């Protein structure tokens, strides 16, 4: 059957591996920006996670256990569907962390060759890669982040043309909705 935990494990790993390969091998390619840096692949994994959670807690694959003790957590993950759900959770969050590292490194001017070991460790050992990136960022990056317009990444949209320095919101937001 296609929808077995083993087959879905393979699909989820392939999706995550695609994201990591693009971050490491083609960081400036337009496709990487469209598929990975804009969050499309993590959203695919997040959707799979939500569907697995729904199936696990509401469907026929529900298992015993909980989060109140280590034994209860072990009971949850004794079920292959719950184990798959936890794995997709890791894949999604680790990829989000790798995306943040990539975007932050670019903004701070960290050379990509220094970022690659951080990304590999983040993929394989999550927090270890984050710790290494924190060291690399401190030693090799700019002391302060560059403004978003210099890095090609706009964190905040341009102000509305009708906004003023005293009130940066567009006019439609100047008064509460019910008082219009």
Domain ranges in the chain? 5-151
Q: DSSP for 5-65?
A: HHHHHHHHHHHHHHHHHHHHH-TTSHHHIIIIITSHHHHHHHHHHHHHHHHHHHSTT--S-
Q: For position 7, what pLDDT does the model report?
A: 93
pTM reported for the whole predicted model: 0.75
Query: How sure is the predictor about 144, in pLDDT bands with cuts at 50, 70 and 90?
Result: low
Indicate the range of 34-48, 89-103, 117-131, 166-180 predicted with least confidence. Answer: 166-180
């Amino acid at each position: 059957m296609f929808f077995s935990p083993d087959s879905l494990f393979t699909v989820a790993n392939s999706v995550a591996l695609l994201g990591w390969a693009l971050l490491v091998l083609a960081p400036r390619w337009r496709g990487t920006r469209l598929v990975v840096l804009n969050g499309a692949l993590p959203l695919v994994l997040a959707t799979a996670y939500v569907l697995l959670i729904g199936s696990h807690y509401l469907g026929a694959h529900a298992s015993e256990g909980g989060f109140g003790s280590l034994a209860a957590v072990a009971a949850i993950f004794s079920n292959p569907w719950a184990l798959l759900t936890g794995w997709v959770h890791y894949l999604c969050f680790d990829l989000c962390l790798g995306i943040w590292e990539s975007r932050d490194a670019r903004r701070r001017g960290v050379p990509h060759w220094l970022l690659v070991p951080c990304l590999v460790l983040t993929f394989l050992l999550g927090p270890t890669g984050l710790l290494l990136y924190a060291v690399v960022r401190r030693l090799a990056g700019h002391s302060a982040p560059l403004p978003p317009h210099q890095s090609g990444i706009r964190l905040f949209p341009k102000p509305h043309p009708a906004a003023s320095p005293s009130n940066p919101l567009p006019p439609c937001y100047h008064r509460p909705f019910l008082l219009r």
